[in-house]
Every structure is written in C-alpha cells, then in structure tokens.
Amino acid sequence: MAEQKTLFPVGRVVLLVGAVLLIVSLFLPWFVIGGSQQRLPAGTYDGVGITNVLNTLAQGPYAWAALAWLILVVVFGVTSAFVGRKFSMFGTSGILVLALYAILIFVSANLINQGVTSGAATVGFAYGFFLAIIGSALIETGARLKKPAAAATPAAPASPMMDEPER
C-alpha cells in the first residue's frame, strides 16, 4: 500500500494562519508610488490595485494570472489544512509570484523614469507586501512540518538464562 503524506496538526494550524495572512494581505497596501508620472500614477496600492497598474503598463491582462495564482495558493493551503493532505511547493510559488510583482513594478518605474528630469516615479514597499510573503512562507512551512519521531523504547535487559548458549 502506498504511503499517504498527511500533516501534523500543528502544520494544519500554520497552514491556516498563512492562508489567512495571504488573503488578507491582498487588500492591504503593497506598494507606495510617488512622483508625478502619468503612466505610473502616485498612490498606495494593494494587491488588486498594483495588478491593475501592471496590466495597464503591459497593455494586457497578464498580471491577473499572477493574482489568480496567489488565490490558488490560498485555496490549496486551506484545502491542505482541512483535508490533511500535503501540497508541497505552493507557498514557495507564492513567494516567487510576489518577487515577480516587486521586480516588475521596480523595473517599470525605472523604464518610465528614463530621460525624466523632474517628477520621477519612486516605488516603496508597504506592510501588506511583507505580510503576503510571511503568509506564503507559513503555507510552505505548514506543508513541510512532519510528525515528531516516536521516542525510542529502551531495550529490556537480557535475562541471565538467555546469555548462555544452549548445550
């Protein structure tokens, strides 16, 4: 019979906490953009808002795939916590998607700022982005927690009769 990977109860709690943090962080500020560039409007953006900004810059719905993936990470985290089945690497993939968001927004700001002498766009991180990373890390940690090893039982001392070979 194939061995089924199940979660340790503490792992389930860690998964749920990570999933809640990640889903809540989507609606908290991720990035603060300053400057007076029209292509990159100044303001504070949450996960959904920064997705809209990136889609506008890319002239397509490409960033929605990244946001949908983060929502799938939450769904798999909650499913894993309730069912008790491990889905590995989803928390890690969430962290990679968040890193992609950060890279894209910083590269976009640098490209928009080329040749600009005043009102250059500036980008800074906000607390929601860090909570999203922590949530993804907790999802991955919860999925990887293993049950503690059973304590070794001490061997019973051998009786004197057993030490002598049979004749």
Calculate the average pLDDT of the chain: 83
Q: Distance (Å, rounded) from C-alpha 47 to C-alpha 129? A: 8
Strands (E), 4-147: 29-34, 43-46, 122-125
Ranges of the chain whose pLDDT falls below 50: 1
pLDDT tens by residue, 89-126: 788 888 999 999 999 999 988 888 888 777 788 899 99
What percent of the chain clears pLDDT 90, i.e. is strictly above it? Answer: 36
Distances (CA, A) of 25 to 28, 64, 93, 125: 5, 16, 16, 13
Residue 98 confidence (pLDDT): 92
Sheet holding 29-34, edge to edge: 43-46, 29-34, 122-125
Q: pTM for the whole thing?
A: 0.77
Q: Where are the domains of the chain?
A: 9-148
Residue 159 confidence (pLDDT): 60
